[in-house]
Amino acid sequence: MKSYLKHISVYLPDKNVTNDDITAMFPTWDSAKIFEKVGIKNRHIAGSSEGVADMAVAAIKNLQIETNIDLSQIDYFLLCTQSPDYQIPTTACIVQHRVGLRDSCGAIDINQGCSGYIYGLSLASALVSSGAANNVLLVTADVYSKHIHNTDKGNISLFGDAATASLISSNGKYEIGKFSLGTDGSGYDKLIIKNSGLFSKSKDQDDPENYLFMDGAAVFDFTAKRIPQLIEENLELNRLVKDDIDLFVFHQANTFMLNFLRNRIKIAKNKFLINMENYGNTVSSSIPLAFQDSFDGESKNVMMVGFGVGLSWGAVILFKK
Amino acid sequence: MEMQDFIEKFASQLESQDIEVNAETNYVKSEFWDSLTAMVVKVMIDDEFGIDIPVEKLNGFNSIGSLFNYLEENKK
């Protein structure tokens, strides 16, 4: 059985942080050049008491408004997040209750970052294709902003908060093709919050190990090496060539990296989606958020490519019906 | 690889095509050098020489020429 991506809804928190706001926070930082290179002007930031469950609920409510869906039709709910409201219990269970999914609906969190939408789609697609589920709700939601130290001007500039809600079903606009997924755990410490789990050491609030650390050069290197290969593999798996793809939707990390990859892989500018200047890097929401404006467009074959924390990567091709 | 080829490859990594560089250029102290430029040059070096040069080391040379000499001596 085939599976289809039926709809994408988004939620962006109200608070907006502009480049001027950041410059005011770090007055001695020569930021103008960096802002231009990373291609971000604004990022939405969750409110102080706004969490992942709140944002997931808001994205699902938007999905409901936009599609008129009867939420009791959802039989499986996947919440992709790395900044859940709780480790225990599953944040997806909290959301189930708040939006009123039926109690015979499965609900779990999946912990994945910038490749998370691809992984989430791969699970949703498998559930529908196998007949195990009819209507899968895939939500991405992260509040990385709450895990970045207030002196970390680099990461403050790059990351934004957002949530998306996607519906995957046995009918819909885009047939979901075959997935290529990959992992390299030797790079686990290139994007990490050291004190985010079992081995957390510090009681000192200000310890940098309580906050997000990103080795930008290592992550850049990793994408330069892995992504061209990933695209070749996924094209072959889906029996297509590069020219058959009408639109590439990469994880929207920053425009510098995106343009570098576009050139390296030799993709035409008009086939390469960059839609992040008002959002920043929204982790697993970045692909659906960027693609949402093009969802009703004319692209027949859309390749989605996610990569990042883990280290982890994945790609899939969507075929417009 | 010849020095001139390397200089051309180095220059082609820079954001602007108008930037003039030569073997004596102290790239680390140049206007065009920042953490992002260092990343693309690092990738180019890995592509061309098979050397995964740490950014700190890349920032330790005082000219493109001395960087080139190091790479030629240590290439895989």
Res B51: pLDDT: 94
Check A105, A251, A254, A301 and give the catalytic one: A251
Confidence of residue A34 (pLDDT cuts 50, 70, 90): confident
Question: Would you call A114 a catalytic residue per the annotation?
Answer: yes
Average pLDDT over residues A62-88: 97
Q: Residues A101-147: pLDDT tens digits?
A: 999 999 999 999 999 999 999 999 999 999 999 999 999 999 999 99
Residues of B within 8 A of A219 (CB-CB) are none
Average pLDDT over residues A205-234: 94
Res A30: pLDDT: 80
Q: Is the pTM of this model over 0.90?
A: yes
* Mean pLDDT value across chain A: 96
CB atoms under 10 Å from CB of A113, counted, come to 26
Check A105, A114, A210, A254 and give the catalytic one: A114
Separation between Cα atoms, residue A270 and residue A264, nearest integer Å: 15
Confidence of residue A90 (pLDDT cuts 50, 70, 90): very high
Residue of A216, A224, A225 with shortest CB distance to B35: A216
User: Nearest CA to A192 among A177, A176, A208, A172?
Assistant: A208
Chain A residues interacting with chain B (CB cutoff of 8 angstroms):
33-34, 37, 216-217, 220-221, 224-225, 256, 260
Res A65: pLDDT: 97
Separation between Cα atoms, residue A14 and residue A49, nearest integer Å: 12
- CB atoms A220 and B43 under 8 Å: yes
- CB atoms A33 and B34 under 8 Å: yes
Separation between Cα atoms, residue A152 and residue A202, nearest integer Å: 19
User: Is the CB of B35 inside 8 Å of chain A's CB atoms?
Assistant: yes
- CB atoms A34 and B34 under 8 Å: yes
User: Is the CB of B43 inside 8 Å of chain A's CB atoms?
Assistant: yes
Res A295: pLDDT: 98
Confidence of residue A200 (pLDDT cuts 50, 70, 90): confident
Please give the C-alpha separations between residue A119 and each of A13, A123, A153, A249, A285, in angstroms, as whole numbers: 24, 6, 30, 15, 12
Residues of A within 8 A of B38 (CB-CB) are 217
What value does the CA radius of gyration of chain B take, rounded to a whole number of Å? Answer: 11
Q: Give how far A302 is from chain B: nearest CA, Å.
A: 27
pLDDT of A202 higher than 80: no
Total residues found in chain B within this entry: 76
What ipTM describes this predicted complex?
Answer: 0.87
SS3 A15: strand
pLDDT > 90: what percent of chain A? 93
pLDDT > 70: what percent of chain B? 100
Q: Residues A291-312: pLDDT tens digits?
A: 999 999 999 999 999 999 999 9
Confidence of residue A259 (pLDDT cuts 50, 70, 90): very high
- CB atoms A221 and B39 under 8 Å: yes
Q: Give how far A21 is from chain B: nearest CA, Å.
A: 22
Q: Give how far A137 is from chain B: nearest CA, Å.
A: 38
Q: Looking at this protein, which amino acid is placed at residue B76?
A: K
pLDDT of B43 higher than 80: yes
pLDDT of A163 higher than 80: yes
Q: Give how far B14 is from chain A: nearest CA, Å.
A: 11
Asked if residue A243 lies in contact with residue A266, where contact means CB atoms within 8 angstroms, the answer is no
Chain B's closest residue to A223, CA to CA, is B43
Separation between Cα atoms, residue B2 and residue B24, nearest integer Å: 15
pLDDT of B76 higher than 90: no
Q: Residues A37-69: pLDDT tens digits?
A: 899 999 999 999 999 999 999 999 999 999 999
CB atoms under 10 Å from CB of A171, counted, come to 11
